[in-house]
Structure 1
Amino acid sequence: MVNFLLGQQGGYTKYPCFICLWDSRARNQHWITKIWPLRENMEVGKANVINEPLISRENILLPPLHIKLGLLKQFIKALDKNGVCFKYVCQKFPALSMEKLKAGIFDGPQIRTLIKDTEFVAHMTQIESEAWLSFVLVVKNFLGNHKAPEYQELVAKMLQNFNRLGVNMSIKLHFLHSHLDRFPQNLGDYSEEQGERFHQDIRIMEERYQGRWDSHMMADYCWTLKRDCPDKVNKRKSQRKSFS
């Protein structure tokens, strides 16, 4: 959604970050380099910008729910698919397809289910458990309603454990690694209800468009939002008659 609003090219691109010129393909530098050249502007035709931005970059908020979904996705993808931990996740969510499980595609309620599951850690190796427990601490003390004073140390510890687990650096991990200062101080004041609903609505759209993200799908989604406004005053009136 951020890429769409800022006119950036979707998919796996070389420069997906709207703040800096982080090279997503330079994997040997991801966990080493923290400061990347800043992106001076969103000029069309450069650094994977294909359209004029719809809003200013300064108005972009990094949503906690999306960050949590991205972190869990990378954690699951790094697990041994023949290991005990991944098999336990498969048993925990039998309704999910194997493709979604391997890709780490979960929603907010499923994350909360795993966090509350005390048996989950018992099926992990030491490296997996250290990465998972540090992730839970970040969720509860930074990406939730409470922001602990030592949140920077908690995030740094989680990133260190994720690196040991062999997690690939994604754009959401990059935000925590290089742009932690871009997260607002009142992060816990932002409600996740809209984020939850967005994911549910987009899931329906993805099924309708068979996973194809394009301008037609986003236009269809925007029209559904407009139709959900019952108090909206339209110029054209419906001619449909009702009989009681």
Structure 2
Amino acid sequence: MKQFVKTLARKNSESFEYVKAKFTKITEVKLKEGVFVGPQIKELLKDNNFLTTLDETELKAWESFKWLCENFLGNKKSPEFRNGVKCLLDSYAAMGCRMSLKVHFLDSHLDFFPENLGAVSGEQGERFHQDIASMEQRYQGFWNAGMLADYCWMLYRDDPQKKHQRNSKSQKF
């Protein structure tokens, strides 16, 4: 949602003006940065008038985002989730969205998501967002494959249940 609205704001499109008029209590700075909470996103997902303000590429991107929300991020993961994520990435690229680290992480780690994503607690989600924020700060917006490995090793090292012992099997001369 964030990347979608930020792209609308950059293009100064009619649909962004509609979002501004719909959410008058949100400051324009927050709107331009795409800062929304769950109820606002749900409200916009249900709004059919919003669809009339979108052009063809924006509509395709919005429909793929909506499909992903309903069929992947909810309580049941669709068997077609891989195609849905690919469609989202393709339509966002066609629209000119800048992809965040979270979207790349989603694309690279589809197999690791559980069948029931709605069962993830708020605490786990908050931890994920904090971890991703620290990774974005560390790499300052640049994407490379080493970041995911670094993130996975960070999770492995920070696990309080694991006992780390340095047992080197190599001989030192």
Q: Which has the higher contact order (CA 8 A, sep 6+)?
A: 2
Q: 1:204 maps to which residue? A: none
> Within 5 Å, which residues of 2 pair with 1:72-111?
72-79=1-8, 80-111=10-41
CA contact (8 A) 1:81 1:87 kept: no
Percent of residue pairs identical? 49
TM-score computed with the length of structure 1 as normaliser: 0.48
2:87 pairs with one of 139, 154, 157: 157
In the TM superposition, structure 1's runs of 4+ consecutive aligned residues that sit over 2 Å from their partners are 188-196
Q: Does residue 177 in structure 1 map to residue 107 in structure 2? A: yes
* Partner-residue secondary structure (3-state), 2:75: coil
Deviation at 1:132, TM superposition (A): 0.3
Confirm or deny that 1:188 pairs with 2:121: no
User: Which structure has the larger Rg?
Assistant: 1
Consecutive unaligned residues in structure 2, runs of 5 or more: 130-173
- Structure-1 residue corresponding to 2:156: none
In 2, the alpha carbon distance for the partners of 1:91 and 1:145 equals 32
TM-score when scaled to structure 2?
0.67
Higher helix share: 2
Letter in 1 for 2:6: K
Distance 1:119 1:102, change over 3 A: same
CA-to-aligned-CA distance 1:29-79 (integer Å, 9 cap, x gap): xxxxxxxxxxxxxxxxxxxxxxxxxxxxxxxxxxxxxxxxxxx00000111
Cα contact 2:57–2:95 (8 A) shared by 1: yes
Change in Cα spacing, 1:96 to 1:194, as seen in structure 2 (3 Å) is farther
Q: After TM superposition, list the pairs within 5 Å mapping 1:1-244 onto structure 2.
A: 72-79=1-8, 80-190=10-120
Does the 8 A contact of 1:81 with 1:102 survive in 2? no
Number of matched pairs: 126
Q: 1:120 is paired with a residue of what secondary structure? A: helix
Q: Aligned pair in 2 of structure 1 residues 163, 179: CA closer, same or farther (>3 Å)?
A: same
Give the Cα separation in 2 of the matches to 1:176 and 1:194: 16
TM-superposed deviation, 1:172: 1.1
**1-side partners of 2:11 and 2:89: how far apart?**
22
Letter in 1 for 2:35: I
| Superposed displacement of residue 127, structure 1 | 0.3
Partner of 1:96, secondary structure, is coil
Which amino acid counterpart does residue 110 of structure 2 have in structure 1? L
